[in-house]
A and B are shown apart, each in its own frame.
Chain A
Amino acid sequence: MAKAFQKIYTQITAITKATLSLKATGVGNDELATVNGKLAQVVKILEDEVTLQVFEGTEGLPTNAEVVFLGKAPSLKVSDQLAGRFFNAYGDPIDGGPAIEGDEVELGGPSVNPVRRKQPSELIATGIAGIDLNNTLVSGQKIPFFADPDQPYNQVMANVALRAQADKIILGGMGLTNDDYLYFKNVFNNAGVLDRIVSFVNTTENPPVERLLIPDMALTAAEYFAVQKHQKVLVLLTDMTLYADALSIVSNRMDQIPSKDSMPGSLYSDLAKIYEKAVQFPQEAGGGSITIIAVTTLSGGDITHAIPDNTGYITEGQLYLRRDSDIGKVIVDPFRSLSRLKQLVAGKKTREDHPQVMNAAVRLYADAANAKTKLENGFDLTNYDERCLAFAKDYSDKILAIDVNINTTEMLDIAWQLFAQHFKAEEVNIKQELVDKYWVKG
Chain B
Amino acid sequence: MTTGKVKGIIANLVTVVVDGAVAQNEICYLSVGKTRLMAEVIKITGENVFVQVFESTRGLKVGDTVEFTGHMLEVTLGPGLLSKKYDGLQNDLDKLTGVFLQRGEYNYPLDEGALWKFTPIAKEGDKVQAADWLGEVDENHQPHKIMVPFVFEGEYTVKSIVKAGEYKVNDTIAVLTDAEGKEHNVTMIQKWPVKKAILAYKSKPRPFKLLETGVRTIDTANPICEGGTGFIPGPFGTGKTVLQHAISKQAEADIVIIAACGERANEVVETFTEFPELDDPHTGRKLMERTIIIANTSNMPVASREASVYTSMTIAEYYRSMGLRVLLMADSTSRWAQALREMSNRLEELPGQDAFPMDLSAIIGAFYARAGYVYLNNGSTGSVTFLGTVSPAGGNLKEPVTEGTKKVARCFYALEQNRADRKRYPAVNPIDSYSKYLEYPEFEEYISKRINNSWIGLVNEMKTYLQRGKEIQEQINILGDDGVPVDYHEEFWKSELIDFIILQQDAFDKIDAVCPMERQEYMLNLVMDMCHKDYDFDNFLDVNEYFKKIINICKQMNYCEFKSADFNNYQTKLDELLKEKQIA
Which residues from chain A sit less than 8 Å from chain B, CB to CB?
Answer: 25-31, 43-48, 73, 106, 108-120, 140-141, 227, 256-260, 265-266, 268-269, 272-273, 276-277, 279, 281, 285, 303-306, 309-310, 312-314, 316-317, 335, 338, 341, 343, 379
26 example contacts (A-B, Cβ-Cβ < 8 A) are as follows A27-B61, A28-B59, A28-B61, A29-B9, A29-B60, A44-B8, A46-B15, A111-B101, A113-B96, A113-B98, A113-B99, A114-B85, A116-B99, A117-B265, A140-B266, A141-B266, A257-B348, A259-B356, A266-B342, A266-B345, A279-B265, A312-B235, A313-B236, A314-B298, A317-B237, A379-B480
* Residue in A115, A266, A281, A312 whose CB lies within 8 Å of B93: A115
**A272 CA / B421 CA spacing, docked (Å):** 26
Given contact pairs A46-B15, A114-B268, A309-B394, A276 touches B299 in the complex (Cβ within 8 A): yes
Given contact pairs A45-B8, A140-B266, A314-B264, A111 touches B300 in the complex (Cβ within 8 A): yes
Chain B nearest CB from A19 CB (Å) reads 12
Complex interface: chain B residues within 8 A of A260 (CB): 354-355, 393-394
- Are the C-beta atoms of A29 and B272 separated by less than 8 Å? no
Closest to A355 in B: B508
Complex interface: chain B residues within 8 A of A30 (CB): 56-59
Complex interface: chain A residues within 8 A of B273 (CB): 119
Give per-residue flags for B330-356: 1 if the beta carbon is below 8 A from chain A beta carbons, else 0. Answer: 000001001101100100100100111
**A52 CA / B507 CA spacing, docked (Å):** 52
Residue B100 is within 8 A (CB to CB) of chain A in the complex: yes
* Residue in A47, A258, A316 whose CB lies within 8 Å of B266: A316
* Residue in A43, A227, A317 whose CB lies within 8 Å of B99: A227
Complex interface: chain A residues within 8 A of B272 (CB): 114-115, 119
Most chain B CB within 10 A, of A114, A309, A317, is at A114
Residue B195 is within 8 A (CB to CB) of chain A in the complex: no
- Are the C-beta atoms of A269 and B99 separated by less than 8 Å? no
- Are the C-beta atoms of B103 and A120 separated by less than 8 Å? no
Complex interface: chain B residues within 8 A of A266 (CB): 302, 338, 342, 345
Residue B452 is within 8 A (CB to CB) of chain A in the complex: no
Q: A114-B272, A310-B393 are in contact. List 7 more A-B contacts (CB 8 A).
A: A44-B9, A111-B265, A115-B85, A117-B266, A120-B266, A265-B345, A268-B338
Complex interface: chain A residues within 8 A of B61 (CB): 26-29, 45
* Residue in A268, A285, A304, A309 whose CB lies within 8 Å of B298: A268
Residue B365 is within 8 A (CB to CB) of chain A in the complex: no
- Are the C-beta atoms of B58 and A43 separated by less than 8 Å? no
Closest to A113 in B: B101
Residue B62 is within 8 A (CB to CB) of chain A in the complex: yes
**A314 CA / B393 CA spacing, docked (Å):** 12
Complex interface: chain A residues within 8 A of B475 (CB): none
Closest to B58 in A: A30
* Residue in B103, B269, B394 whose CB lies within 8 Å of A118: B269
Chain B nearest CB from A296 CB (Å) reads 13
- Are the C-beta atoms of B10 and A44 separated by less than 8 Å? yes
- Are the C-beta atoms of B265 and A304 separated by less than 8 Å? no
Complex interface: chain A residues within 8 A of B356 (CB): 259
Complex interface: chain B residues within 8 A of A116 (CB): 98-99
* Residue in A73, A112, A316 whose CB lies within 8 Å of B59: A73
- Are the C-beta atoms of A269 and B298 separated by less than 8 Å? yes
- Are the C-beta atoms of B8 and A46 separated by less than 8 Å? yes
- Are the C-beta atoms of B9 and A45 separated by less than 8 Å? yes
- Are the C-beta atoms of A28 and B58 separated by less than 8 Å? yes
Of residues 286 to 345 in B, which have CB atoms within 8 Å of A's CB atoms? 295, 297-300, 302, 335, 338-339, 341-342, 345
Chain A nearest CB from B235 CB (Å) reads 8
- Are the C-beta atoms of B58 and A312 separated by less than 8 Å? no
Complex interface: chain B residues within 8 A of A265 (CB): 338, 341-342, 345, 355
Chain A nearest CB from B309 CB (Å) reads 16
Chain B nearest CB from A87 CB (Å) reads 22
Closest to A51 in B: B10
Chain B nearest CB from A411 CB (Å) reads 21
Residue B102 is within 8 A (CB to CB) of chain A in the complex: yes
Give per-residue flags for B448-465: 1 if the beta carbon is below 8 A from chain A beta carbons, else 0. Answer: 000000000000000000
**A277 CA / B341 CA spacing, docked (Å):** 24
Closest to A24 in B: B62
Chain A nearest CB from B480 CB (Å) reads 7
Given contact pairs A46-B7, A314-B264, A341-B266, A309 touches B393 in the complex (Cβ within 8 A): yes
Complex interface: chain A residues within 8 A of B57 (CB): 29-30
Rank and list the top 7 A-B pairs by shortest CB-CB distance, nearest first. Answer: A304-B394, A272-B298, A276-B299, A259-B355, A46-B8, A312-B236, A30-B58
- Are the C-beta atoms of B58 and A112 separated by less than 8 Å? no
**A118 CA / B93 CA spacing, docked (Å):** 14
**A281 CA / B269 CA spacing, docked (Å):** 11
Residue B558 is within 8 A (CB to CB) of chain A in the complex: no
- Are the C-beta atoms of B391 and A313 separated by less than 8 Å? yes
**A256 CA / B396 CA spacing, docked (Å):** 24
* Residue in A73, A112, A141, A310 whose CB lies within 8 Å of B101: A112
**A120 CA / B394 CA spacing, docked (Å):** 28
**A44 CA / B9 CA spacing, docked (Å):** 6
- Are the C-beta atoms of B264 and A113 separated by less than 8 Å? no
